[in-house]
Structure 1
Amino acid sequence: MKRFFLTAAGCLLVVSCGAATGSTGSPAGSPTLSIEAPADGANVGSSFALEFSSNEEIGATDSGKNHVHVSTDGQADDYTVVTASPFQVTGLPPGKHTVSVALQHADHSSAGASDEITVNVTGSGGGAPSERQSDYGGGY
């Protein structure tokens, strides 16, 4: 009887922990960041709108708010600082590419949330480029 009680208590603990996480598996209250569009595996032009959402307010680094680093193909050190969604990704050559987003504090340290998708660039077309929201001149 005592063993059953401990097992049941262990199950309740697991259920409680599961209820404390958000839809992305992050603990409740933790920063979240998710790519909303394009879908993972989508065919895109070399220019496309990357839409993301976060439960954190983002803004320019000089505002003290968090921002997003957008990078491609595992090149996390070669990023563009993005302060609004959507962001226009441009200049990717044809083929498969991984597009990553990472939530960063104003000092560029990690805020602990990230997401990535794989896209297949099928040509040079795409949506009309929009003005990018970047603190740096480099990018895609």
Structure 2
Amino acid sequence: MMHIRNIAAAAALTLAAGGLVACGDDGSAGSGGAGGGMTVSVLEPSAGADVRVPFTVKVDSSVPLGPSESGKHHVHVWFDGDEDNYVIVESDTTQINAAPTGEHVMHVSLRNANHSAAGVEATTRVVVAEGESVPGGEETGGPGYGY
């Protein structure tokens, strides 16, 4: 009888340990794979949009965004591979006041309060035109850019 209890206890511990390992990373968090089910996406500008500086970036995050000192997550936005030259975004909307001219990949990376990567990123292609106004007063970046 004692032997059966020991086997049952060992089996229960093995299952519990396996469950802890399985809860760690579901792999669905994006390129980093460590997001624990968190998501971030770019709502504006749309993929391939023509924009002029300044332009609005709107993101959707599955976790609340806020100032780093509050302990909440925030977002870093950068262009192409220049991850060291980023804009900190502490809400779901920000204004980009400087961006390189031409076609670029805009990266949006969800960050922990200490600025470390949360393992969730999104990208979108944008075409940044020179100048601050659109000739003829037309809006090319979609609604809400307020040129």
TM tier relative to shorter chain: 0.5 to 0.7
2:136 aligned with 1:114, yes or no? no
More strand by share: 1
CA radius of gyration, larger in: 2
Return structure 1 stretches of 4+ with deviation > 6 angstroms: none
Given that residues 95 and 121 in structure 1 are in contact (C-alpha distance below 8 angstroms), is that contact kept between their aligned partners in structure 2?
yes
Q: What do residues 81-111 of structure 1 show as CA deviations (whole Å, max 9, x unaligned)?
A: 2101211112224311221110011111111
Any gaps of 5 or more consecutive residues in structure 1?
Answer: 1-19, 130-140
Deviation at 1:125, TM superposition (A): 2.7
Percent identity, aligned pairs only, is 33
Aligned-residue Cα RMSD (Å) equals 2.7
Any gaps of 5 or more consecutive residues in structure 2?
Answer: 1-25, 134-144
Q: What do residues 7-50 of structure 1 show as CA deviations (whole Å, max 9, x unaligned)?
A: xxxxxxxxxxxxx998x8x8xx6110000011111111122100
Q: Aligned match of 1:90 in 63, 72, 97?
A: 97
The residue number in structure 2 matching 1:77 is 84
TM-score, normalized by length of structure 1? Answer: 0.67
TM-score, normalized by length of structure 2? Answer: 0.64
